[in-house]
Structure 1
Amino acid sequence: MYAPGGRRVRGAAPLAMRSPRAEIRPVTPTSPPMRAPLLVLATGMLATARVADPAPIRGFTAESSRAERAWETKLQAIPDPARMREHMRLLAARPHHVGTAAGRANAEWIRDQFRAYGWQAEIETFDVLFPTPVERVVELVAPSRFRARLQEPTVAGDPTTAQHDEQLPTYNAYSADGDVTAPLVYVNYGIPADYEELAHHGVSVKGAIVIARYGASWRGIKPKVAAEHGAVGCLIYSDPRDDGWSGGAVFPAGPMRPADGVQRGSVMDMPTHPGDPLTPGIGATKDAKRLTKEESGVLTTIPVLPISYADAAPLLAALGGQVVPGPWRGGLPQTYRFGPGPARVHLVVKSEWGLKPLHDVIARLPGTTEADQWVIRGNHHDAWVNGAEDPISGLVPELEEARALGALYAQGWRPKRTIVYAAWDGEEPGLLGSTEWAEAHADELRQRAVAYLNTDTNGRGVLGVEGSHTLEKFVNEVARDVEDPEAHVSVWKRQQAAALQGGTPEARREARERGDLRIGALGSGSDYTAFLDHLGVASMNLGFGGEDDGGIYHSIYDDFYWYTHFSDTSFVYGRALAQTMGTAVMRLGSADLLPFAFTNLAETAQRYTRELQTLRDRRAEQLADRRRDVEDGVYAASSDPRAPTVAPPVLAAPPRLEFAALDNALDSLSHAAARYERAYSRFAERGASATDGGSAPNGLAAINARLVQAERALTAPEGLARRPWFTHLLYAPGWYTGYGVKTMPGPREAIEEDRWADADAELARVAAALTREATLVAELANALGGGR
């Protein structure tokens, strides 16, 4: 999985918790009876309490909920930690990046497991551009000489770290080839704000090689922004303050990144589009028409290499110039300076640019009455090296879910909808396998896909969830029905406790008062991207984490030894993930009425709108303050003659933006969502006979077919500005964040980048999407019985 700033993010953004739903518990007498009549009364009350059914599951009638809960109880008893441990040992035994024999063998083994579990399973193959390095050089040529090792050493006692002949070298996939020698400049995290700070200090990177530390954004943003400012090369290193010894003991004594550890990763410009660079928008089949490398538009224009902090230290120590500000100083025991000079660096990157095969494993359990609707669940199987944590920790629970669902299927359980399980290839270089499959099956998916559920990595701690807010209520209910294996409370209760202990004041208030825990929005970084951002399929990403921090992300040390010593060592959170995801899949697959809800979506969209209004007003205040400071000579007076600074440019004050259409659309959506929820409540209370037409079985199938389109209504076929592949108007990865989400991305990024002429047009596009959603939800409310 991709992680913001290159650090491993376990699971996803935590649910910002809310108040717990009332639970019906058996009444247990605590004192002996006093008289016979009271005993009879007490016994009758006890029996009544014990037979009382819990509230129906969302999307199910009272009757179908009883059957569903019985099947779910069986499912949750099946996942086996010992099997997951053994499967991880097997799948992480050899390096298995794209195009390797080990990767293909893993795919075939996974396919055969699905078949053994009773699934229909095949491998779909795609051919994609995947460069691998043939030459890498980083050397300091002035004022002294130093040549970087660019090698992660074997660790005694950890056998897979010695598989050097099979390991990909330390490199950044899709870096441009190049051989450059130039002055070195330190750019902190290498994000746009850092270049504003460099300009303030009069430092230019034009004609220089920049060195940036991992963090604050996706790694591909760093060479992208460097090239925009005229740099000719880029080095990215892992600073010990971020994921090395400042976070704990380093591997093998502890979980953190050792001095020679290096983070591999892709630097393709995925905010433009993920997937095969040569076949954007279409599946990379053998007969696909391919672009040239130069036409792809997503490859870096300068050479890039990742290095360890052991290799970075001599380069940084050779820099002169001003001392950097406090927030720029990392964890190395030396002075951090901007440069440029006297350090000069020679950088060489050359790769073999060839097509490699991808092997996606696709397994199906056929549905019954609504078999043409698909519930899709996925995780990838490829890794940069051995990949025990990323991705095998998320894949082995998926296999246990599949085994459990297959066992239930053999016992007579049948989902209404077809369930599709996928093990994707090529996620690490650029979400290749999932994107190519989604593009190849785009027409089917737009018609049939109910939802896509993703995991990537899994560890110990609290369940994290990001996703479509139409599924927020649904996933909260699932989390209430799974037990945390160590805290022995519901997963939901553990989430709420985490928010109450470590949340902001607003999050703490919501944890106590709001009925559902808030889920984060999805940007990019894993295999949900093509489904949500490109096709408009409601999606979620789940995983446990927070109690097993580490620094082995995308290194040779992400292996079975590390995971079984420092992460979910007993695999009980693997079992909890299988129980959580298996339950979610069963409910989506078998629900009488698909369990989407729209009140949470409307409330969240209102929050996003308030954020945009605040963002515009703060930017106006910032620019006004800057203008006054320049006019009053504040920058000139405060500049240190020995370390002079440069005043920022004075920009025009931003105009007032037109939010009326967006506010009106939100009012319409809120009203329609409330009506739908009232109509849904009638269905939940009375079942299929709640109304004369909409809730009859055939009527429900028609409503479900319309519900599937609810997320699609939030997309626009023309896509986002600068990147038409991304069509969702509420969620997208940021142009300068890469993984991190930008909500209402069109107007938000226009405001952030001072593109005021574009902001009103983008606000109008979001308003139109929310109006489409409101119209659809109102129609659904009518079909379900009105809800007035």
Structure 2
Amino acid sequence: MGAAALLLYPDPEHYNPPSLGLKPFPSSQYMPSDAIRHDSLIWNGLGDPQTPGYAATSYAHRLPLQSLHLPSIPVQPISFENALQILSRLDGSKAPKAWNNGSNTTYNLGPGFRNDGNSNITLHLKISNQLVNKTIYNVIGSIRGRVEPDRYVIVGNHRDAWFNGAIDSAAGTAAFLELSRVFGDLLTDGWRPRRSIIFCSWGAEEFNLIGSTEWIEENMKILHGRAIAYINSDIVVIGNGSLSVAASPLLYHTIFNASKEVPNPNEEEGAKTVYDKWLISYPLMRNSSGMISVKRNAFDSSFDVDNDLFNANQHFAGEPNESGSLLQTYMESAALQTRPKVRQLDMRSSYAPFFTVAGIPALDITYTNVNDIKSDANQINSMSNPLLHTKYDTFEVIDKFIDPQFKYHKAVTQVLGEIIRDIADSLFIPFNLLDYAQVLKDLYITLHIHTESILANNGIKIELLDSAIKNFTSAAIRFHLNQDKIDFTDPMAIRRVNDQLMLIERTFLDPNGLPRNMMKRHIILSPSETDPPYDEMFPGLMDEFSILLHQTGNSNVKSWTWDVIRAHFSIIVSTIQSAAQAISDVI
């Protein structure tokens, strides 16, 4: 296009909407016009772009810079205040109405500047950026487990920030350090977890998740057979309304239990616990027709599970429940028709490579203002607090507007502590496979509703996917049934069950990744590569349908895309079937 440079500015419509009529910081949390927002232009979750898929060690082979798709022109963030001076002087056709920036100034699209009697305007850009390699550091500490020291519960936080970074991520660092102190004190008092806990302070997260990604790549082969879960402590508090969680389905049960143990930090509200407020703020109401189900005697005469449990609409009572059955507890939990909504994992923090590349269950929790993500409950982004990544992300913002008594920071840290303790110290790894079965069914229902006829017309039998998910559901129930019957005095039997639970997330990895991104190997949970046309669907299929919707008149693209859809559909079916076999009885 012949562009000489790219200038990025924060649009007031997103960061300080004029319709609200609010004064900017320091009178509110909204962005002043002189604020400059900084981000890494490269943000694909692949870490160091010169060593894709491999650790960026001192001895690593690095791709030459000219082979990378790096920007070839300067890219510079500026404030809206400065941007307006440029926009108001542009010549050419009028900007679309939808591009209105919330100011009273209308502007054109260029090229060039208007001649209003002044001399010709020339824009000069001077930058001081240098493209150099720098050494970054991860700081790692650990508590050795007493029974299974080779099984790791990983806790992480990034300590780097743009400017002051009070919210992102000094607050997360404070929670992380407090957790390490508390578990260290417990260790001094004689307590030691069943499994090892690894504390990781990541460097260079703001530069494309380099710290956590390169650590994953360096330790992939070890982590494959030892990592249980990853717990992230990043933007832990961005508001004072409710907990908001993004997580792998395997961690739902633990998160729900942990949030029930922590009192609601706002004592004036009717909700007694963090869970109760979360449920009120972000309820997920599910239709009973879309719930997983199992018929009595589905396998053999010894398999006798009351299918009425799937009609239960009550809170689970703990682990195990009053009947002593772990299976019944998990079934009741998975069958709740109203429970807190859990967001889909994205690529926005250090947890991304854990689940997309390594297949390690991950979670991220944040206390947020309820209205921040009400309209889009699948995402917490920079606009949840307009001051993030600017010089105004300071302690004053937290102290004045968000959490002056730090009681919400305390609550989040307590929830994180309960999650870590539960995963690290429970006899069985507390993964409810039925939550995963329900997520798979939810994804199938979305696919069925939107694409059943078009899939059938193109030779794809959607019932094969339905069958694979039913097989996984049946295998999950039988797995937990056998878990109830295990001999607790047999350490090898316990180890076998825990190994199957630990490895189940890895079965959803495909070495070739998504069709549009081979580095995203988790074909169930990886975020879509495109602007998704539907709410929730298998990401690889979502990408291809998005392309089809935008290429309806291009027969060549259409034919090639359907070939990709057929191939990826078969991989999804095969992967889910393999996951069912992975939790079946060991021969």
For this structure pair, what is the TM-score category when the shorter chain's length is used for normalisation?
A: 0.7 to 0.9
Q: Does 1:676 align with 2:479?
A: yes
Name the SS of the counterpart of 1:577 in structure 2. helix
Aligned partner of 1:292 among 56, 64, 69: 64
- 1:751 corresponds in structure 2 to 545
Q: Report the CA distance between 1:505 and its aligned residue.
A: 9.7
Name the SS of the counterpart of 2:265 in structure 1. coil
- 1:481 corresponds in structure 2 to 261
Q: Report the CA distance between 1:450 and its aligned residue.
A: 0.2
- 1:471 corresponds in structure 2 to 251
Name the SS of the counterpart of 1:372 in structure 2. strand
What is the CA deviation profile of residues 440-467 of structure 1, one whole-angstrom value per residue up to 9, with x for unaligned ones? 1111111110000112112222111111
- 1:129 corresponds in structure 2 to none
Judging changes above 3 Å, is the alpha-carbon distance between structure 1 residues 301 and 660 closer, same or farther for their aligned structure 2 residues?
farther
- 2:512 corresponds in structure 1 to 718
Aligned partner of 1:397 among 169, 175, 182: 175
What is the CA deviation profile of residues 589-621 of structure 1, one whole-angstrom value per residue up to 9, with x for unaligned ones? 011011111212111112222323444479x79
Q: Report the CA distance between 1:742 and its aligned residue.
A: 7.5
- 2:495 corresponds in structure 1 to 701
Q: Report the CA distance between 1:322 and its aligned residue.
A: 5.4
Judging changes above 3 Å, is the alpha-carbon distance between structure 1 residues 570 and 420 closer, same or farther for their aligned structure 2 residues?
same
Aligned length: 505
Judging changes above 3 Å, is the alpha-carbon distance between structure 1 residues 555 and 768 closer, same or farther for their aligned structure 2 residues?
same
- 1:667 corresponds in structure 2 to 470
What is the CA deviation profile of residues 561-611 of structure 1, one whole-angstrom value per residue up to 9, with x for unaligned ones? 222222222111111111101110001101101111121211111222232
- 2:77 corresponds in structure 1 to 306
What is the CA deviation profile of residues 505-527 of structure 1, one whole-angstrom value per residue up to 9, with x for unaligned ones? 989x9999526433122121100
- Unpaired segments ≥5 residues, structure 1: 1-205, 210-231, 622-652, 684-689, 784-788
Judging changes above 3 Å, is the alpha-carbon distance between structure 1 residues 491 and 469 closer, same or farther for their aligned structure 2 residues?
same
- 1:617 and 1:259 map into 2 onto residues whose CA distance is 49
Q: Report the CA distance between 1:365 and its aligned residue.
A: 0.6
Name the SS of the counterpart of 1:709 in structure 2. helix
- Unpaired segments ≥5 residues, structure 2: 115-121, 292-312, 315-335, 373-383, 549-560
- 1:515 and 1:695 map into 2 onto residues whose CA distance is 37
- 1:776 and 1:329 map into 2 onto residues whose CA distance is 54
Q: Report the CA distance between 1:775 and its aligned residue.
A: 1.1
Aligned partner of 1:257 among 26, 31, 38: 31
Q: Does 1:366 align with 2:136?
A: no
Judging changes above 3 Å, is the alpha-carbon distance between structure 1 residues 481 and 269 closer, same or farther for their aligned structure 2 residues?
closer
Aligned partner of 1:494 among 268, 277, 296: 277
- 2:154 corresponds in structure 1 to 376
Q: Which amino acid aligns with 2:88?
A: A
Judging changes above 3 Å, is the alpha-carbon distance between structure 1 residues 302 and 608 closer, same or farther for their aligned structure 2 residues?
farther
- 1:238 and 1:392 map into 2 onto residues whose CA distance is 23
Q: Report the CA distance between 1:279 and its aligned residue.
A: 1.5
What is the CA deviation profile of residues 643-668 of structure 1, one whole-angstrom value per residue up to 9, with x for unaligned ones? xxxxxxxxxx9846442332221111
Contact 1:734 / 1:741 at 8 angstroms: preserved in 2?
A: no
Aligned partner of 2:165 among 377, 387, 391: 387
Normalization by structure 2: what TM-score? Answer: 0.79
Judging changes above 3 Å, is the alpha-carbon distance between structure 1 residues 523 and 554 closer, same or farther for their aligned structure 2 residues?
same
Aligned partner of 1:528 among 326, 345, 351: 351
Judging changes above 3 Å, is the alpha-carbon distance between structure 1 residues 504 and 587 closer, same or farther for their aligned structure 2 residues?
closer
Contact 1:462 / 1:545 at 8 angstroms: preserved in 2?
A: yes
- 2:104 corresponds in structure 1 to 333
Judging changes above 3 Å, is the alpha-carbon distance between structure 1 residues 506 and 561 closer, same or farther for their aligned structure 2 residues?
farther
Name the SS of the counterpart of 1:275 in structure 2. coil
- 1:655 and 1:336 map into 2 onto residues whose CA distance is 47
- 2:323 corresponds in structure 1 to none
- 1:198 corresponds in structure 2 to none
How do residues 252-651 of structure 1 correspond to structure 2 at under 5 angstroms? 252-270=26-44, 273-297=45-69, 299-319=70-90, 323-324=94-95, 326-340=97-111, 342=113, 351-459=129-237, 460-486=240-266, 487=269, 489-499=272-282, 514=337, 516-546=339-369, 550-616=385-451
- 1:226 corresponds in structure 2 to none
Judging changes above 3 Å, is the alpha-carbon distance between structure 1 residues 546 and 698 closer, same or farther for their aligned structure 2 residues?
same
Q: Report the CA distance between 1:286 and its aligned residue.
A: 1.4
Judging changes above 3 Å, is the alpha-carbon distance between structure 1 residues 742 and 435 closer, same or farther for their aligned structure 2 residues?
farther
- 1:305 and 1:591 map into 2 onto residues whose CA distance is 50
Q: Report the CA distance between 1:302 and its aligned residue.
A: 4.2
- Choose between structure 1 and 2 for higher RCO, CA contacts under 8 A separated by at least 6 residues: 1
- 1:774 corresponds in structure 2 to 580
- 2:333 corresponds in structure 1 to none
Judging changes above 3 Å, is the alpha-carbon distance between structure 1 residues 706 and 429 closer, same or farther for their aligned structure 2 residues?
same
What is the CA deviation profile of residues 180-210 of structure 1, one whole-angstrom value per residue up to 9, with x for unaligned ones? xxxxxxxxxxxxxxxxxxxxxxxxxx44x5x
Name the SS of the counterpart of 2:469 in structure 1. helix
- 2:11 corresponds in structure 1 to 239
Name the SS of the counterpart of 1:430 in structure 2. coil
Judging changes above 3 Å, is the alpha-carbon distance between structure 1 residues 602 and 326 closer, same or farther for their aligned structure 2 residues?
farther
Q: Report the CA distance between 1:723 and its aligned residue.
A: 2.8
- 2:367 and 2:103 map into 1 onto residues whose CA distance is 31
Contact 1:521 / 1:741 at 8 angstroms: preserved in 2?
A: no
What is the CA deviation profile of residues 335-392 of structure 1, one whole-angstrom value per residue up to 9, with x for unaligned ones? 2555555568665656311111212111101101111000001110001111111001
Contact 1:391 / 1:456 at 8 angstroms: preserved in 2?
A: yes
What is the CA deviation profile of residues 252-299 of structure 1, one whole-angstrom value per residue up to 9, with x for unaligned ones? 2221110010110101151xx5211112222222111111112234x2
- 1:305 and 1:241 map into 2 onto residues whose CA distance is 20
Name the SS of the counterpart of 1:713 in structure 2. helix
How do residues 223-234 of structure 1 correspond to structure 2 at under 5 angstroms? 233-234=5-6
Q: Report the CA distance between 1:748 and its aligned residue.
A: 1.1
Q: Which amino acid aligns with 1:333?
A: N
Contact 1:373 / 1:417 at 8 angstroms: preserved in 2?
A: yes
- 1:334 and 1:505 map into 2 onto residues whose CA distance is 46
Q: Which amino acid aligns with 1:257?
A: M
Judging changes above 3 Å, is the alpha-carbon distance between structure 1 residues 736 and 301 closer, same or farther for their aligned structure 2 residues?
farther
Normalization by structure 1: what TM-score? Answer: 0.60
Quick one: percent identity of the two aligned structures?
28
- 1:258 and 1:363 map into 2 onto residues whose CA distance is 40
RMSD: 3.0
Q: Report the CA distance between 1:777 and its aligned residue.
A: 2.3
How do residues 84-103 of structure 1 correspond to structure 2 at under 5 angstroms? none
Name the SS of the counterpart of 1:362 in structure 2. strand
- 2:298 corresponds in structure 1 to none
How do residues 166-245 of structure 1 correspond to structure 2 at under 5 angstroms? 206-207=1-2, 209=3, 233-244=5-16
